[in-house]
Amino acid sequence: MQIDVLTIFPEFFGQVFDFGIIRRAKLAGIVEISVHDIREFAADKHKMTDDRPFGGGDGMVMKPEPIFAAVEHLLGTSDRDAYPPGTKVVLLSPQGHPLKQRHVKELADETERMIVICGRYEGVDERVNETLVTDEISIGDYVLSGGEPAAVVLVDAMVRLLPEALGSETSAENDSFSNGLLDCPHYTRPAEFRGMSVPEVLLNGNHAEIEKWRREKALEKTTKFRKDLLIGENGEM
């Protein structure tokens, strides 16, 4: 997978993709990540990437010209219908669809190339959304100073789901949200620590009992902390 990040602060990403699973995936050739400075695509001498909003109001709005130019440079077109198969252009903004694990899985499965646009200020000129963007995504119901932290979240969540990125085919299957529940509790050595013991079921080697216990504890934790995950579209448990 090829991931291109468009930002006005490329230095933000200086080393953030050089650790852990993302680093291993890059070294293995599973993913290639490039960061591009939007200012380089601004045509005016001052390299302006934002301007005052029409209609008045506070703040600044990111201009369309540099973003269009950047996407055209990377894809050869600014026409969504002409994008190469498997291409996604993602705008990160508070107005986007909430990012869920199922959406991350779909993106990881269906995407060959992704361009991630990091919004800033009061937002991005809506013509970018109307013409270039295939997916508008929010990572939560809160506002960040810009889309850069959200880009790291999206890339990390996606890369770990790419084939062979984790080194185990079942690792991601057992994550929280992958099966609609939070993950079960986990324990490691020592079996006794400050008077606290690891549940006996995890020590007896009976895999059927262990899986049953893990399922029950995942359901228990989900009921306690995220009951909304257990409620279907019809509002029933």
Q: Catalytic: which of 65, 122, 156, 183?
A: 122
> Is there a domain that residue 59 lies in?
yes
> Is there a domain that residue 198 lies in?
yes
Which CATH number fits the domain that encloses residue 58?
3.40.1280.10
Burial class (CB in 10 A: 0-12, 13-18, 19+), 227: exposed
2-47 pLDDT, tens digit each: 999 999 999 999 999 999 999 999 999 999 999 999 999 999 999 9
Please confirm, yes or no, whether 122 is among the known catalytic residues. yes
> Is there a domain that residue 35 lies in?
yes
The chain-wide mean pLDDT, for the chain, equals 92
- Whether residues 193 and 82 share a domain: the answer is no
> Is there a domain that residue 123 lies in?
yes
> Is there a domain that residue 226 lies in?
yes
Q: How many domains, in total, are found in the chain?
A: 2
- Whether residues 71 and 97 share a domain: the answer is yes
Q: Catalytic: which of 94, 149, 156, 226?
A: 94
Rounded Cα gap, residues 117 and 147, in angstroms: 8
Which CATH number fits the domain that encloses residue 201?
1.10.1270.20
5 phi and psi, to 5 degrees? -105, 125
pLDDT at 133 over 60: yes
- Which of 76-80, 126-130, 233-237 bottoms out in mean pLDDT, i.e. has the lowest? 233-237
- Whether residues 128 and 224 share a domain: the answer is no
User: What percent of the chain is modeled with pLDDT above 70?
Assistant: 92
> Is there a domain that residue 237 lies in?
no
Q: Which domain holds residue 48?
A: 2-159
- Whether residues 25 and 55 share a domain: the answer is yes
Please confirm, yes or no, whether 24 is among the known catalytic residues. no
Please confirm, yes or no, whether 175 is among the known catalytic residues. yes
79-109 pLDDT, tens digit each: 999 999 999 999 999 999 999 999 999 999 9
* Structure tokens given for 80: 């969504």
